[in-house]
Amino acid sequence: MLNERIESCSEIADLEGLYFVWTTLLQGVVSIQSLTDLRLHYKGKLNLNIDYTILLFEQLELVKFDGNEISISINRENTFIDIYNYQDWFSKILLNFLIKQDIILLDDIKYDDQNGKYVLPRHNIKYKYACYRNLLITLRILEKCEAGNYYINELLSDLLEKVNSRKLKLTEEALLKKLELQRLQGEKGELFVVNYEKIRLKTRQDTSEIKRISILDVTAGYDIVSFNDMASITLDRFIEVKAYKGKPHFYWSANEIQTAKIKSENYFLYLVDVFKVSDSNYNPIIICDPVSYFANNQEWFSKPQSYLFEKII
């Protein structure tokens, strides 16, 4: 969880400052005052705000601080004495936290092929999080480049690849869920149309022949076979059902279009609003010979979603 007090500090510490506080805590120091006293006797230059460093460590769940005493809250076997190992260890913990908290956004990252590095747009870290951005720079995780953007080092790029791989897996799961919802929506629309047709032709004695052929044949180019009217002696109405929510819209496959051309006036599109199928007075949008209907129709807009390229030889 974010500590809003940290955001008021533009500079928390540099690597040497972080390392000084951590190793001092490992040696048994337990108070802010003791850390302050030891810093006064430190031989060397430290860029360090002790109060905010402890807040950061607490936020990262590395320590616990009750206002008086500081205690390390992780297994000490996982701590490091060597500053370079410490830098790698701490950077991973910090990055995982910042990504999880959406302090670093993962959108719009570009690859700079001239320098062989990924570029993080400056807006991917909001201005109010300058303290974290500056910390990432001092840890050499980010490097300033042109237009105020940042190159990211291998540690962050590797981590982002892992995060995006997990996101891709979740996206695939979400896609499967979406496809299942679409299947159920389509099934709901088809069942409605079968019933609608039986009511439309209720004076016929053979309405039991009206059926969903899409259950067994998904390549037919239509979903339901029915009768055009009372005079029909065969199943001569071929219906493609398009279920939708909101504004009428649908996707029409090349196979369905080709079938519609062949069946011409015997081919029908039934556009079914799934929000209205429970209404006993609802009538779907019915389009006869849709290829001709849409040819010069100004009320509908169409655009290609993809193209198939196939090698001739």
Sheet bearing 224-226, strands edge to edge: 211-212, 224-226, 237-244, 267-273, 285-288
pLDDT of residue 258: 95
Q: Domain spans of the chain?
A: 6-152, 176-295
> pLDDT by residue for the chain (313 residues), tens digit each?
677 888 888 899 999 999 999 999 998 999 999 999 999 988 888 899 999 999 999 999 999 999 889 999 887 765 666 888 899 899 989 988 998 898 988 777 887 878 878 888 899 898 899 999 999 999 999 999 988 999 988 888 777 766 666 665 666 777 778 777 888 888 999 999 999 999 999 999 999 999 998 888 888 999 999 999 999 999 999 999 999 988 899 999 999 999 999 999 999 999 999 999 999 899 999 999 999 999 988 899 888 878 778 888 8
pLDDT in tens, 156-166: 877 776 666 66
Residue among 247, 274, 258 at smallest CA distance from 183: 274
Sheet bearing 117-120, strands edge to edge: 110-112, 117-120, 150-152, 142-144
What is the rounded distance in angstroms from the CA atom of residue 273 to the CA atom of residue 4?
47
pLDDT of residue 168: 59
What is the rounded distance in angstroms from the CA atom of residue 120 to the CA atom of residue 108?
8
What is the rounded distance in angstroms from the CA atom of residue 222 to the CA atom of residue 290?
12
Token pair for 291: 């290829």
CA atoms within 13 A on the CB side of 113: 0
pLDDT of residue 211: 92
Whether the full predicted model's pTM is greater than 0.85, yes or no, is no
What is the rounded distance in angstroms from the CA atom of residue 237 to the CA atom of residue 224?
8
What is the rounded distance in angstroms from the CA atom of residue 219 to the CA atom of residue 255?
8
- Judging by DSSP bridges, how do beta strands 70-72 and 63-65 pair with one another? antiparallel
Longest dimension (CA), the chain: 104
Other Cβ atoms less than 10 A from the Cβ of 267: the count is 23
Other Cβ atoms less than 10 A from the Cβ of 292: the count is 14
Buried/exposed 67-84: b ≥16 CB within 10 Å, e otherwise: eeebebeeeeeebbeeee
The answer to whether 14 touches 48, Cβ cutoff 8 Å, is yes
What is the rounded distance in angstroms from the CA atom of residue 255 to the CA atom of residue 242?
15
Residue with tokens 């370079």: 84
